[in-house]
Structure 1
Amino acid sequence: MTIVNRRQILAGGAVAGAATLTSGRAWAQAHDQVIRIGVLADFSGPYRSTSGPTSLAAAQQAVEDLGMTNRGIKVEVIQGDHQNRPDAALALARRWIDQDGVDMICEVNNSAIALAVANLVKDKDKVQLASGAASSALTGPQCTANTIQWTYDTWMFSNVVGGASVRAGGDTWYMITADYAFGHQLERDVGAFVQKAGGRVLGSARYPFPGTADFSSFLLQAQASRAKVVGLAMAAADMVNCVKQAHEFGLTRRGAQLAGMIMFVQDIKAIGLEAAQGMLLSEVFYHDLNDRTRGLAQRILRRTPDNMPGQEHAGTYSCVIHYLKAVMEVGVARAKASGLDVVTMMKRMPTDDDAFGPGLVRQDGRKIHPAYLFQVKTPAESHGPWDFYNLKATVTGDEAFRPMNEGGCPLVRG
């Protein structure tokens, strides 16, 4: 029997400890060379189809399209379900940054969550690219240097749909509004643009959110107003239910036109063309818009074949593309050390991708690209399961989004 004395044990322990320490340093060095992107989205709730799995696929597609592996940069894309709860989302985002080495958080299709995460990434010097959040406060009074709002916002939707509808003759409006901050902001913005274009808002009805399934009383109020346009300041399942019930009431057959303030191709799919036909809406991406959008949609569709990529998914693709281009410019080590340095580079570089074409990121964190006014096709006009829109107008980025000097963002000089 071999006898091992205490000195030998201690010596062996020291060697083992040294090996563990060396291994730990090697792991940490390798860990520091990986760019980690967290897709914080709705993977199980009411916005799953416009967010969730297809946004994750869009982020993964962006990494593939840029060929990051061939460029010698390792990128990991992870997912997290925010459950539409700011407390849960913030706890997850904090863990991602503090424990999992996440450098950039994107999607965040909930304005309250995006505003909370904006403060977190500012404190931690990381990056948020809000490709799903709609509140224009993100580039207004609550803007921060580490967050960019990428895809759309309430100001843009209201501007494009409200102004264009009045110019087309829809000069009297009635609003049906979700009774919480998101709906209230949409209603205010739409009213301002309708009045600016020479129209009038005759009234509004606010329904309890969440939990409203029967919109009949609100539709009757809209019908009684005799407004030419009924604006719907709502989203997701509420929008689907309200439009279907408006069709059953025969609201549009009596001469009123429905205008969806925030709508997605997935909403039209759920409603059906029979009920949705003739609606006006705005999107910043449509899969059948041009050759670049068609190619991008098909690449993402291979990953999620049951869900056509929409504007929110396109925004996630686009922001990941531009973020990784900026990472390549500043270098991985610097990108991991300072999110602010990456965002500063993103604002210096022009944008260009298959989702939106050429564009830019302004000083206030607003990504600029064109927006489009669409009218939903009739069933007879549609030639396929996702062929939904006729293009009515193209609005340049400078015209579509709020002027930078009107937003109140403290980052704006002068």
Structure 2
Amino acid sequence: MSARTGEANAMASSRPVLVFNCGSSSLKFGLFELPEEPVAMAHGTVSDFGTQATLDWTCRGQQRREPLAARDHVQAAQAVLGLLARHDLLAGISAVGHRVVHGGEHFSAPVRVTDAVLGRLDSLNGLAPLHNPSALAVIRECRGRLGEVPAVAVFDTAFFHALPEHVMAYALPAEWRREFGIRRYGFHGIAHRYLDQRGRAVSGAGRVVTLQLGHGCSIAAIQDGRPVETSMGFTPLEGLVMATRPGDVDPGVLLHLGGQGWSTARLETALNHHSGLLGLSGASADMRELLALEAQGHAGAGLAITAFCHRARKYLGAYIAVLGGVEAIVFGGGIGEHAPSIRQRICANMAWCGIQIDAAANAAVGGVEARISTTDAGVGVWVVPVNEELQIARELRACLAAQTEIQP
């Protein structure tokens, strides 16, 4: 072991690390001690950016909600850093881990952030415009505030980097794939890795399908911890119906609109911000609001929810076929953890393949880890609250220990 590596190991085991998780519309954080398994010292979320933003946090046994005037992820990060400083927790931080959604072809594992790394990541902003720019802005804010404290980027795409070639490759001209790096990358990899690990731990299963259902939604087929299929592709637009993103759509639609004079910028805005549940319902992108509207007879809400569940069930059936059968299904994410009726609808009429939901158990579960399938069902169906911050801390620890760096 080199002196540098030994120093890094000592640092990682004795001083806490901070984790930032930039979502498309929120900023989560966690402060962890690093014994064998990271232990949370503080955690929280900044949500509803703008004049009504709030910071919900737990620190040293205190739980509070504070109003903020945070219009974006950078101001949210500034608020979190200020909170930690007021509690004398900032000065001792040994490293900061950051979730970065798109790592492209170059970044297949967590990496120490350097100026060269930031430059490469800047070039990927167009592939994940709802996520990468805000994550990089928070990284730069932390580097400016914390100086020499190491920053580590942990990538959502890394878990899917070694997908089988026939899954990774789009049926497009070979020169497109070579020249532009067009391939299936997959996203939500941090969440899917966590869901799979917990799913295998509680069920003993080898063949697992994980569903990360929140503002963004994706599904993955995983065999013995190795992903073999996933719904998101070159960008986070493909796959399931999402809050404001459409998932699968005929590329001919975009060609048609382009022919009608729509610019790339206009198409990008429509696909990222005005499609999905919002586009179908014409009312809301929030599943909670849509369920309430559906109960009142709102036709658009009913259409959006039915399409959402149908698309997820279609993918679930396909992934069971890809795996040659499934032993565990694991739901996570805001919708997956807190919307029993959505879980019920996705798994409806699937007793033929061993999936049978216990209605009472399912209805009782919201935001806690529990089995929701009947005891005699052939396939265990679980709800697992996703802890991406914990998973990032684990990967940050491993990166620090290995002193992983990447050359420009």
TM-score by length of 2: 0.31
Higher relative contact order (CA 8 A, sep 6+): 1
Task: Please tell me whether Structure 1 or Structure 2 has the larger radius of gyration of its CA atoms.
Answer: 1
TM-score by length of 1: 0.31
